[in-house]
């Protein structure tokens, strides 16, 4: 993905809805699951002659605004690419260490934040985070997930140390392993069963910021197979709650034919 995408503003995001006026969208038009590739933090900072991390800090504020708007609009599932596997493997040691501190502190706060509990937001973290992140961060993530595991009103899914290609590879490895002990019929349902996202519905709307209309590292390639795509020219730190609302409104105006 070329830069760190993370959600350090999750705590503030799920507060009680602000009085932002939204277009009324019927339940049949509204996407159930919105996934976001938050691209442009580093480029935003570079344009302003700032340290790249300043772009991530500004991007955090955008995360807060967008997640609050998603909650207000009644989006049940919001998925955000927080950190790619490539980022973990290729970024500088200094940058990684700084981000790990931020991740640890943020997830520790999520565990006890009353706004998360008031809004019954279940936190899911998907990817190879257990295998690639420091134990202190793993424990903080597990704490936040355990504290919200019984909730089901809203779902915030964070992809951490994630690669869509690796996700598909692991799914097929899982089916091969299962086939060794029993007869396995390969079906779409069986593939889904072996994905990180096995408990999530397909993505209805995929949003990518940053002005580059493409996918990255096979982002949720199975789950976005029938998605509507929305590309914004804005870099992520400049993307607003109103821009998110505009994307959802655009989705609501489209006709999804599914090959019919």
Q: Which residues are part of the catalytic machinery?
A: 39, 87
Distance CA 89, CA 4 (A): 11
**CA distances from residue 22 to 25, 35, 229, 241, 247 in whole angstroms, order as listed:** 9, 20, 21, 10, 12
Q: Phi, psi at residue 163, to the nearest 5°?
A: -140, 130
DSSP per residue over 88-155, as a string? HHHS-HHHHHHHHHHHHHHHHHHHH-HHHHHTTEEEEEESSHHHHS-HHHHHHHHHHHHHTTT--SEE
Which of 140, 135, 109 lies closest to 125, judged by CA?
Answer: 140
> Closest Cα partner for 200 from 256, 228, 158?
158
Main-chain dihedrals φ then ψ at residue 246, nearest 5 degrees:
-60, -40
Question: If phi over 0 gives left and psi between -120 and 50 gives alpha, with beta otherwise, what is residue 220?
Answer: left
Can you name the residues that pair with 159 across neighbouring β-strands? Answer: 81, 126
* β-pair type (33-37, 77-84): parallel
């Amino acid at each position: 993905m070329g830069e760190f995408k993370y959600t350090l503003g999750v705590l503030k995001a799920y507060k009680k809805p602000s009085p932002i006026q939204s277009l009324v969208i019927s339940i049949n038009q509204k996407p159930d699951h919105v996934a976001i590739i938050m691209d442009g933090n580093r480029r935003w900072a570079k344009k302003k002659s700032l340290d790249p991390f300043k772009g991530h800090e500004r991007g955090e504020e955008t995360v807060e605004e967008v997640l609050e708007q998603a909650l207000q609009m009644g989006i049940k599932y919001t998925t955000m690419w927080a950190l790619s596997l490539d980022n973990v493997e290729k970024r500088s040691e200094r940058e990684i260490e700084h981000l790990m501190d931020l991740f640890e502190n943020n997830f520790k706060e999520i565990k006890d934040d009353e706004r998360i509990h008031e809004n019954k937001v279940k936190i899911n973290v998907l990817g190879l985070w257990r295998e690639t992140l420091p134990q202190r961060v793993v424990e903080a993530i597990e704490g936040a997930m355990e504290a919200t595991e019984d909730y089901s009103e809203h779902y915030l899914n964070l992809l951490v140390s994630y690669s869509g290609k690796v996700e598909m590879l692991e799914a097929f490895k899982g089916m091969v392993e299962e086939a060794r002990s029993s007869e396995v019929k390969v079906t779409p349902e069986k593939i889904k069963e072996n994905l990180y996202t096995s408990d999530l519905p397909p993505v209805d709307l995929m949003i990518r910021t940053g002005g580059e209309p493409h996918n990255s590292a096979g982002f949720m390639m199975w789950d976005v197979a029938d998605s509507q795509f929305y590309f914004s020219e804005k870099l992520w730190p400049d993307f607003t709650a109103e821009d998110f609302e505009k994307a959802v409104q655009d989705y609501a105006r489209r006709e999804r034919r599914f090959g019919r």
